[in-house]
Amino acid sequence: MKNKNTFDRKPETDAIRIQAERSSFQEHSVPLYLTSSFVFEDAEDMRASFAEEVDRNIYSRYSNPNSTEFIDKVCALEGAEAGVAFASGMSAVFSTFAALLEAGDHIVAARSIFGSTHSLFSGILPKWNIGHDYFRIDELESIDSLITSKTRVIYAETPTNPAVDVLDLEKLGNIANKHGLLLIIDNCFASPYLQQPIKFGADLVIHSGTKLMDGQGRVLAGIAVGRLDLIDRIYRFSRITGPSLSPFNAWILSKSLETLGVRVDRHCENALRVAEFLEGHSKVNFVKYPFLKSHPQYAIAKKQMKAGGCVVAFEVKGGLNAGRRFFDAIKMLSLSANLGDSRSIVTHPASTTHSKLTPTEREEAGISDGMVRISVGLEHINDILQDIAQALEKA
């Protein structure tokens, strides 16, 4: 947790310069604090620490210098008051709902959300009689009609996975505000470098640190940042139940954030080139990328994002079978489910990440059977394009 906002420097600088206090060794790069607990001066120090009269580390389930450094950086990037770090993106999502909702509460969410978040809403939260209703991303006006006296939260991701639709954050902020609801945004696809939902009225922002934040496919992590009063409740839940981020992973993540801006710039530059290449290709039915002029929400993307992100969605002509031939012909790109990695990755959402959805649910989430998702990496653009081009010839 933290409560310090540094708006006097650019966030990119904070992502590099925020650092845990130097030890007596005067190290330049932050050490790895692999310790489960911390020691006290005397009985009074220990009593005061447990009474939370002093702000200090007690036990790494509660806090750790590496996790705190990671949290402070993400808060600076998102313009948030405070945050809690988690072992994975899903533990951040679950802990946020578990900490803030009561039995019987209701969530209104965008239909296009991460597969495991959908499974949480439909399979786990109903244990506590917490219900949900989905709105289509192209029908934000329908949100009003879904809100009941039990609704507490509006939840969305933008751009969406895997169809890269873009939701208007300003509109969502206004709707949440009008009804006195919390607006919680999963900002994982954009990263805080491209988009800061708090500026548009989000109360909390959640990330899977596993994706662009680490950016090299090494560790799992999650984080929730936002309003101090809400973060305090999430922190208390986490400190008791223990989904804490490991210091090692926090150290990796904090180092990764130093290069977030330059990495994401290159991801976006490469992704736009891939999208433009696919748009002109005779074997492709459609391409979706937020910063292509043909994207249905291009104007909204331009308003709220610095660039289009790393994910491009497209459909190979010839449906499922052509899609399979395309996958089998790929030589360099990885067939994998991750995204935001330095290595380019191709995925077939209908048979993998979104196979748990019914065909109707997939249709409503904008996922066609032949849709391919590419997370465009940092390899030389010519090599990425060459691999996609040769695979399309065989599709």
Ligand X SMILES: *Cc1c(COP(=O)(O)O)cnc(C)c1O
Tell which one of 49, 66, 96, 161 touches ligand X (CB under 6 A): 161
Amino acid at 382: N
The Cα 46–Cα 48 span in angstroms is 6
* Residues 43-62: x where in contact with ligand X by CB under 6 A, - otherwise, as a string: --------------------
Max Cα distance, the chain (Å): 75
The residue number with the shortest CB distance to ligand X is 89
Q: x/- site string to ligand X, residues 199 to 218, per CB under 6 A?
A: ---------x-xx-------
Which one among 78, 81, 157, 315 touches ligand X, defined by CB under 6 A?
A: 157
Asked whether the beta carbons of 253 and 364 are under 8 A apart, the reply is no
Q: Indicate the residue among 20 and 372 with the shorter CB distance to ligand X.
A: 372
Q: Which stretch binds ligand X (CB under 6 A): 104-112, 183-191, 288-296, 377-385?
A: 183-191
User: 106 or 373: whose CB is closer to ligand X?
Assistant: 373
Residue 238 and residue 232: Cα distance in Å, rounded? 10
Do residues 135 and 111 make contact, with C-beta atoms less than 8 angstroms apart?
yes
- Shorter beta-carbon distance to ligand X: residue 20 or 234: 234
As measured in angstroms, the least distance from the Cβ of 252 to ligand X is 13
Burial of residue 38, with CB atoms counted within 10 A of its CB: 0-12 exposed, 13-18 middle, 19 or more buried? middle
CB of 294 to ligand X, least distance (A): 24
**Closer of 79 and 162 to ligand X (Cβ):** 162
Contacts of 176 (CB under 8 A, 6+ apart): 154, 182, 183, 201, 203
C-beta of 20 vs 308, nearer to ligand X:
308
CB of 119 to ligand X, least distance (A): 11
Q: How far is the CB of 249 from ligand X (least distance, A)?
A: 11
Least distance from C-beta 3 to ligand X, angstroms?
26
Separation of alpha carbons 352 and 161, rounded Å: 13
| Candidates 163-171, 184-192, 274-282, 385-393; binding stretch for ligand X (CB under 6 A) | 184-192
CB of 184 to ligand X, least distance (A): 12
Residue closer to ligand X by CB (options 20, 156) is 156
**Ramachandran assignment for 259, one of left (phi > 0), alpha (psi -120 to 50 degrees), beta (any other):** alpha
Out of 114, 193, 277, 326, point to the residue binding ligand X (CB under 6 A). 114
Determine the size of the site formed for ligand X (CB under 6 A).
15
109 beta partners: 134, 155
Residue 370 contacts ligand X per CB under 6 A = no
Please give the structure tokens belonging to residue 100.
């803030």
CB of 88 to ligand X, least distance (A): 3
Using CA atoms, how far apart are residues 35 and 136, in angstroms rounded to an integer? 46
Least distance in angstroms from the C-beta of 243 to ligand X: 10
- Smallest gap from Cβ 254 to ligand X, in A, equals 16
Taking CB under 6 A as the rule, does residue 220 contact ligand X? yes
Q: In the complex with ligand X, which residue's Cβ is closer, 162 or 173?
A: 162
| By the rule CB under 6 A, 237 interacts with ligand X | no
CA angle 28, 31, 36 (to 5 degrees): 160
Q: Which is nearer to ligand X, 201 or 217 (CB)?
A: 217
- Residues 59-98, one symbol each (x = binds ligand X by CB under 6 A, - = not), give -----------------------------xxx--------
By CB under 6 A, name the binding residues for ligand X.
Answer: 88-90, 114, 116, 157, 161, 186, 188-189, 208, 210-211, 220, 222
